[in-house]
Amino acid sequence: MVVPKIAPSLLSGDFAKLASECQRMLDYGAEYLHMGNHFVPNLTLGAPIIKCLRPHVKGFLDCHLMVSNPEQWVDDFANAGADQYCFHIEATKNAAALIKKIHDKGMRASIAVKPDTPIETVFPYGNNVEQVLVMTVEPGFGGQSFMPSCMHKVKALRERFPELDIQVDGGLGPDTIDAAAQAGANVIVAGSSIFKSESPKAVIDLLRERVQIAIDSAATSNNN
């Protein structure tokens, strides 16, 4: 059975004390630490930063690469200590080979889809990856509004892959968590709603609670 996993997005944290921010989120109960990496033109949170953080951070480092050539960075992130490597289905011509390369380097594999990408593009790989990430904003910029129109993708994934980790990223917070959780998402990336809250721990706890309620409700419905 899937379980809730809350993943604070470190792009919303204080870069001057990133290791401390990581530990603070772990102390608040976060299961993942989410690193969004994209070309601007260089990687914002690239492998060198992951390598620097790894000796000081024992939590799960979830790395989402919004890059045009994801094959290029697998070795670097694996050697730096990343736990999960997420690439965009739109960015590779051979997803199966890339998944194998990620697994061969000892990392969990995840596929991300942009809001306009049909979810059917990842169906062939759902049994070969540990996670699928459904973007609920256009990738690359923080603070965007949640796109509920993407929830049909989450529902379709959950129906087809009941044991898969399904992650959502973009505009998640107390006001939008129910839509995502009820659609079937169990891994929640949240940046501003956590880091800018007066009580980040309370937000993390609330997000986890809402996901667990949705999981329990779905299990009850399936048993009836």
Structure tokens at 4: 């809730």
**Banded pLDDT at 36 (limits 50, 70, 90):** confident
Quick check: 38 pLDDT over 70?
A: no
The predicted pLDDT at position 40 comes to 40
The domains of the chain, with CATH numbers, are 5-223 (3.20.20.70)
Determine the pLDDT at residue 145: 86
- How confident is the model over 47-73, as pLDDT tens digits? 889 999 999 999 999 999 988 889 999
Q: In this structure, what token pair is assigned to residue 68?
A: 């045009």
For the record, the structure tokens of 142 come out as 């923080």
Distance of CA 1 to the CA centre of its chain: 18
The pLDDT-based confidence of 11 (bands split at 50, 70, 90) is: confident
Report whether pLDDT(195) > 90: yes
Q: What is the pLDDT of residues 145-178, one digit of tens each?
A: 899 999 999 999 999 999 999 999 999 999 999 9
pLDDT tens profile 73-89: 999 999 999 999 999 99
Which contiguous run of DSSP H or E holds residue 180? Answer: helix 177-183
Model confidence pLDDT, tens digit, residues 97-107? 999 999 999 99
Those residues whose C-beta lies under 8 Å from the C-beta of residue 108, and which sit 6 or more positions away, are 83, 84, 85, 102, 129, 130, 131
Q: What's the mean per-residue pLDDT of the chain?
A: 93
Which of the two residues, 111 and 46, has the higher pLDDT score?
111
Higher-scoring residue by pLDDT: 12, 28 = 28
Determine the Cα–Cα distance for residues 53 and 111; give it in Å rounded to an integer: 24
pLDDT at 39 over 60: no
Order across the sheet with 84-88: list the strands. Answer: 5-8, 187-190, 165-169, 131-135, 108-113, 84-88, 60-66, 32-38
Host H or E run for residue 189: strand 187-190
pLDDT digits (tens, 9 = 90+) for 116-134: 999 999 999 999 999 999 9
Q: Which residues contact 123 (CB under 8 A, 6 or more apart)?
A: 160
Identify the pLDDT of residue 165.
98
Question: For residue 141, what pLDDT is reported?
Answer: 60
DSSP 99-143: HHHHHHTT-EEEEEE-TTS-GGGGGGGTTT-SEEEEESS-TT-SS
Residue 53 neighbours by CB distance under 10 Å:
22
More confident of the two residues 37 and 95 = 95
Rg, C-alpha atoms of the chain: 16
Q: pLDDT at position 140, please?
A: 62
CB 4 within 8 A of CB 168: no
